[in-house]
């Protein structure tokens, strides 16, 4: 059973609202698991054989599959239902959030001075919100990360946290921190001598994957940046309610105001694919500037297209076309090793890992995976499915 948001900023949904959220969770499960399997079967049995008959070869890449499959009725229903489900997820959590807007602000104010943690929040009212955020409702979330409805508003943070709790069908864990928890534990076990003193999370949204770093490196000073003030206000209050000290800053990850060589670990999760190509390159350069010599840059992301077969490339790129994540495919077409080396990282310092989800496999499997990295991704990597694994890449400085 999936439990929705449980921490100090929990909003109270009425029974009919909970039923709508439950329906969306199961509807998402239906489209992402059952229908996705059905579409693959139709592809294997109909689409690919017909393509081979016409072209005397298999499709070379995801684009060729997309071009062919988009005419198929099942694909149309899959896509239409998936788009609707995505929008309905957010709509299902809006009414309880609307009722709680004033209360959320009061709770956040109280939590900011809580003695449970010593985190901080720095909002920069003059920051220009990049077009990649301001010009669209990323992944069909009305209002995106930055819209403000009143002074000191944090509702877009609440919308993200509550929406993703329904959207992720439990795959992100009860605190939505499976990615951060899995990767931080992996890094600690893989590099026992690496003991970061200062950690930075880029594009942190509500800090859900920032907080787990505190568990594995409790003495580290943790900072997190995002361009959206409402998600940062919410993230700050959320961290305080969990008793974890994190310093949240409204800054653009492409150009932060931190000093050179000031962090041991620069991390991001599910962030780069929402940034245009030019911005991604700048973020990697900025990470290099911020890292101390011997520091580690690590980005959790969807696996690059070059690591996947044509069908899985097509499948993952769906979001780029239909989910208001236009830079998703551009990012996945990039070659991580090349991006890192072009930013000045040594080629022989490049790393990439495929890490089992802690929620699905437990700590033991993560520890085992430390010595069994073979660089192979499969249709469980970065996909909401049983046996999910997380892909990440980066470089030592």
Partner 1 sequence: MSENDNKLRYSVRGKKSRFFESDGVDELVSICMSIAQELWVVKEELALLKNLTLEKGLLTKKELENFKFTVKQKTELDNENKDFIDRVFFTLRESVESVDSNHDEPNPPPIP
Q: Which residues bind partner 1 (CB under 8 A)?
A: 1, 14-16, 18-20, 22-24, 26-27, 29-30, 34-35, 38, 41-42, 45-46, 70, 73-77, 79-81, 83-85, 87-88, 91, 94, 97-98, 101-102, 136-137, 140-143, 147-151, 155, 159, 321-322, 324
Q: How far is the CB of 122 from partner 1 (least distance, A)?
A: 22
Q: How far is the CB of 320 from partner 1 (least distance, A)?
A: 12
| Residues 6+ away with beta carbon under 8 Å from 3 | 174
The smaller minimum CB distance to partner 1, of residues 27 and 227, is found at 27
The smaller minimum CB distance to partner 1, of residues 15 and 375, is found at 15
The smaller minimum CB distance to partner 1, of residues 36 and 283, is found at 36
Q: Quickly list H helices, the chain.
A: 15-29, 36-42, 48-55, 62-69, 73-112, 131-134, 155-167, 178-190, 212-216, 229-241, 277-290, 310-322, 328-333, 336-342, 358-361, 363-369
Q: How far is the CB of 203 from partner 1 (least distance, A)?
A: 21
The smaller minimum CB distance to partner 1, of residues 322 and 350, is found at 322
The side-by-side arrangement of strands in the sheet containing 350-356 is: 120-122, 246-250, 221-226, 198-202, 263-269, 291-301, 389-396, 350-356
Q: Phi and psi at residue 362, in whole multiples of 5°?
A: 85, 170
Tokens (6 digits) for 78: 């899959």
Give, rounded to a whole angstrom, the gap between the first and last alpha carbons of the chain.
43
Q: How far is the CB of 303 from partner 1 (least distance, A)?
A: 24
The smaller minimum CB distance to partner 1, of residues 19 and 197, is found at 19
The distance of Cα 11 from the centroid of its chain, to the nearest Å, equals 23
DSSP per position, 334-349: S-HHHHHHHTT--GGG
Please classify residue 266 by burial: count the beta carbons closer than 10 Å to its beta carbon, then call 0-12 exposed, 13-18 middle and 19+ buried. buried
Residue with tokens 């609440």: 158
Q: How far is the CB of 199 from partner 1 (least distance, A)?
A: 33
The smaller minimum CB distance to partner 1, of residues 170 and 243, is found at 170
The smaller minimum CB distance to partner 1, of residues 151 and 259, is found at 151
Half-sphere exposure at residue 92, Cβ-oriented, CA atoms within 13 angstroms: 28
Query: Strand, coil or helix: what is 76?
Result: helix
Q: How far is the CB of 85 from partner 1 (least distance, A)?
A: 7
């Amino acid at each position: 059973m999936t439990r929705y948001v449980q921490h100090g900023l929990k909003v109270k949904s009425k029974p009919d609202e909970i039923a709508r959220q439950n329906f969306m969770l199961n509807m998402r499960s239906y489209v992402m698991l059952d229908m996705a399997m059905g579409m693959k079967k139709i592809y294997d049995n109909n689409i690919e054989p017909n393509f081979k008959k016409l072209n005397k070869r298999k499709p070379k890449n995801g684009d060729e599959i997309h071009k062919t499959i988009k005419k198929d009725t099942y694909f149309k229903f899959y896509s239409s239902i998936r788009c609707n489900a995505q929008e309905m997820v957010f709509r299902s959590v809006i009414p309880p959030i609307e009722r709680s807007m004033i209360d959320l602000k009061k709770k956040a104010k109280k939590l900011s001075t809580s003695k449970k943690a010593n985190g901080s929040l720095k909002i920069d009212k003059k920051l220009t919100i990049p077009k990649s955020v301001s010009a669209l409702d990323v992944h069909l979330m009305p209002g995106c990360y930055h819209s403000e409805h009143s002074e000191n508003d944090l509702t877009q943070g609440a919308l993200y946290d509550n929406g993703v709790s329904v959207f992720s069908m439990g795959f992100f864990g009860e605190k939505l921190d499976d990615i951060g928890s899995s990767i931080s534990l992996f890094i600690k076990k893989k590099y026992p001598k690496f003991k970061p003193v200062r950690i930075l999370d880029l594009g942190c949204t509500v800090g859900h994957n920032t907080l787990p770093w505190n568990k594995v490196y409790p003495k580290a000073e943790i900072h997190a940046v995002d361009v959206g003030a409402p998600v940062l206000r919410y993230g700050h209050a959320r961290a305080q309610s969990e008793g974890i000290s994190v310093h949240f800053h409204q800054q653009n990850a492409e150009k932060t105001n931190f000093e050179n060589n000031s962090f041991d670990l620069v991390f991001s999760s599910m962030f780069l694919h929402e940034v245009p190509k030019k911005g991604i390159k700048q973020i990697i350069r900025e990470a290099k500037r911020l890292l101390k010599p011997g520091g580690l840059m690590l980005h959790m992301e969807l696996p690059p297209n070059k690591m996947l077969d044509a069908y899985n490339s097509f499948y993952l790129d769906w979001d780029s076309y239909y989910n208001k994540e236009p830079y998703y495919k551009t990012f996945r077409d990039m070659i991580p090793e090349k991006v890192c080396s072009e930013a000045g990282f040594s080629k022989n310092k490049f790393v990439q890992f495929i890490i089992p989800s802690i929620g699905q496999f437990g700590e033991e499997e993560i520890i085992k995976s430390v010595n069994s990295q073979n660089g192979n991704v499969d249709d469980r990597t970065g996909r909401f499915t049983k046996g999910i694994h997380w892909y990440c890449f980066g470089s030592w400085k």
